[in-house]
Amino acid sequence: MLKLTVLLITLLVIAKTGWTREKFSIQVNEGNTFGALVKAEPFTKINDGYYFFGTESLNWYEAYEKCRELNSELVTFETDQEFDAVTAFLTANGSRLTYWTSGNDLAKTGSHRWFTNAQRISSLRWARNQPDNAGQKEHCIHLGYIYKDSRKFELNDRPCSQDPNSLFKYICEAPEMETISIVVWK
Ligand SMILES: *[C@@H]1O[C@H](CO)[C@@H](O)[C@H](O)[C@H]1NC(C)=O
Ligand SMILES: [Ca+2]
Ligand SMILES: [Ca+2]
């Protein structure tokens, strides 16, 4: 009983006086605030993003699973600048292949969205007359040289699966980074 009373008083005193300073403070910031060296393999850094270029030809679902195995998702182009940077990288590397993105209108036909963030696709990088949902079967979005006379990478909708002519390479995008700083009193 006495022990308990002493403990209670001690606790009360501590609570009243309190500690005037926290031992440490934590701060979380978007991005790689201090430009720390980051080991990103197998991802390639392009501007602020990290991308993996899958070399197997797969349907959209298989491609998504491959990205999830790498703790990433199929690429989302939040801006056309990001699209231009990634396709410039491919062009510089001599690629004219076709690659899946996260874009689709599986939830509601005609409402094309990036699957990773549910944002409507407002890109100006569609190939001409696309998306056209040809044969009412095209619900997943890829990039490539869409027509014989295409001169650059553009977006197009194709069947997500069940189509031997819609097996594409894929681009995975790593999650964004945060910097956590811990400040302590010496
Ligand atoms: C870049 O080109 C090299 C050599 O052709 C090839 O091995 C590599 O897979 C290419 N990378 C991409 C992302 O296309
Ligand atoms: Ca992105
Ligand atoms: Ca199409």
CA count, 13 A, side-chain hemisphere, 36: 11
Q: How far is the CA of 146 from the centre of ligand 3 (A)?
A: 9
Number of residues that make up the chain = 186
Please tell me the residue having the least CA distance from ligand 1 atom 1.
93
pLDDT value of position 110: 97
Calpha distance 148→127 (Å, rounded): 12
The pTM of the full predicted model, rounded to 2 decimals, is: 0.85
CATH label of the domain that carries residue 147 = 3.10.100.10
pLDDT value of position 186: 87
Q: From its phi and psi, is residue 138 left (phi > 0), alpha (psi between -120 and 50) or beta?
A: beta
Contact criterion met (CB below 8 Å) for 50 and 43? yes
Please tell me the residue having the least CA distance from ligand 1 atom 7.
93
The CB of 153 under 6 Å from ligand 1? The reply is: no
Residue of 21 and 162 predicted with greater confidence: 162
Total domains in the chain come to: 1
Encoding tokens for residue 99?
């690659």
118 located within any domain: yes
Across 136-149, average pLDDT: 98
Distances (CA, A) of 82 to 11, 68, 86: 56, 21, 6
Across 172-176, average pLDDT: 97
108 located within any domain: yes
32 located within any domain: no
CA count, 13 A, side-chain hemisphere, 22: 6
Calpha distance 55→132 (Å, rounded): 27
Across 10-36, average pLDDT: 79
123 located within any domain: yes
pLDDT value of position 47: 94
Beta strands 49-58; 168-173: pairing state? antiparallel
pLDDT value of position 180: 96
4 located within any domain: no
pLDDT of residue 14 exceeding 70: no
pLDDT value of position 20: 75
Task: Give the pLDDT band (50/70/90) at residue 174.
Answer: very high
80 located within any domain: yes
Q: How far is the CA of 151 from the centre of ligand 1 (A)?
A: 19
Percent over 70 (pLDDT), the chain:
90
5 located within any domain: no
The CB of 170 under 6 Å from ligand 1? The reply is: no
Encoding tokens for residue 169?
């390479």
The CB of 92 under 6 Å from ligand 1? The reply is: no
Across 66-88, average pLDDT: 98
Query: What tens digit of pLDDT does each residue of 104-138 get?
Result: 999 999 999 999 999 999 999 999 999 999 999 99
Name the residue of 75, 91, 93 whose CB sits within 8 Å of the most ligand 1 atoms, as the mutation to test its pocket.
93
pLDDT value of position 108: 98
Domain that holds residue 45: 40-179
Point out the ligand 1 atom lying closest to the alpha carbon of residue 44: 13
Calpha distance 82→47 (Å, rounded): 8
124 located within any domain: yes
Calpha distance 141→99 (Å, rounded): 9
For residue 38, which amino acid is it?
Answer: V
Which ligand is located closest to the Cα atom of residue 98? Answer: 1
Distances (CA, A) of 175 to 56, 74, 105, 117, 155: 22, 11, 22, 12, 22
Encoding tokens for residue 155?
């977006």
